Amino acid sequence: MAFVDPLTLPNPPRHAPFAKCNCVRVVGSFEELVSTPFAGKVNALCWSRTLEGDFGEIVSALDVKTGISTITEERLDSLPLTAAGRIARETILKDLERLRALDLAPALDCVNGYEHDLNAGPVPTHVQSFHVDSATVPADTYLCTYAGRPSEGLPNEQAMRRVDIPETRAELLDLYGGPDDEDFREYLNENFFDLHYAPLPTARPFQFGVGNLWRIACEYAGSPVAPCIHRAPDTVPGESARLLLIS
């Protein structure tokens, strides 16, 4: 079967609505988001929200350089904002506080393009390539896009690990210079190659939407579900920076 590189999917890809994906369950509150267990095919929970306030104003006021800037609360607090901007800021601060109360360490990032090489090596390992997050202990990823293009997800049955694509594996074995054994699998793991996925030709990613707070499953030993495959969206020249919370 032929595989399509995620970076060559139609741009923008033909997205499926997330509420129709069998790997997504929509919840109605933060408490439900935190307490609903992943089970069966569900490895992504979405607290669907329509947020008030002007998040774009915060992005403009931050005026970040190219790349990823992590925004401290002090910086957020110091921004001169209109009433609509202040409402947006309150929402962000409340989300940060909620997640900290769970002993998490959320970060607020403003992303103004990336500096990685999109096509380096046989397996891209940057955040714009479909991947799963991994952890050594049970953990989930929380994320919310407040402004800009949202993150994207991919149902597991519409993707294949890149290291399992015969041509890619052969290239990796060449690079490694040894047999396809336990040490090679460790090499794949140490270089994050085994966390990245290629969408099948018929794949339809879904967008996480703007304002929604998501909890998605990571890969860890003993997880009851497959990890959620996701990526940062394509960068479009001239589009304004993204503002997102990640934990």
Task: State the nearest-atom distance from the C-beta of 234 to Fe ion, in Å.
Answer: 15
Q: Which is nearer to Fe ion, 133 or 194 (CB)?
A: 133
Q: Which is nearer to Fe ion, 85 or 227 (CB)?
A: 227
156: DSSP letter: G
Task: State the nearest-atom distance from the C-beta of 133 to Fe ion, in Å.
Answer: 4
In the region spanning residues 7 to 26, those forming contacts with Fe ion, defined by CB under 5 A, are none
Residue nearest Fe ion by beta-carbon distance: 133
Q: Which two tokens stand for residue 93?
A: 């601060």
133 binds Fe ion per the rule CB under 5 A: yes
Rounded CA separation 215/223 (Å)? 14
Q: Which is nearer to Fe ion, 88 or 210 (CB)?
A: 210
140 binds Fe ion per the rule CB under 5 A: no
Q: Which two tokens stand for residue 138?
A: 């049970």
Where does the chain show beta strands of DSSP type E?
24-27, 44-47, 67-70, 107-112, 140-147, 152-154, 159-161, 197-199, 206-207, 213-217, 229-231, 242-246
Show Cβ contacts of residue 178 under 8 Å, excluding neighbours closer than 6 positions.
184
> Among the candidate windows 10-18, 69-77, 91-99, 131-139, which touches Fe ion by CB under 5 A?
131-139
Task: State the nearest-atom distance from the C-beta of 232 to Fe ion, in Å.
Answer: 8
Q: Which residues would be at the binding site for Fe ion (CB under 5 A)? A: 133
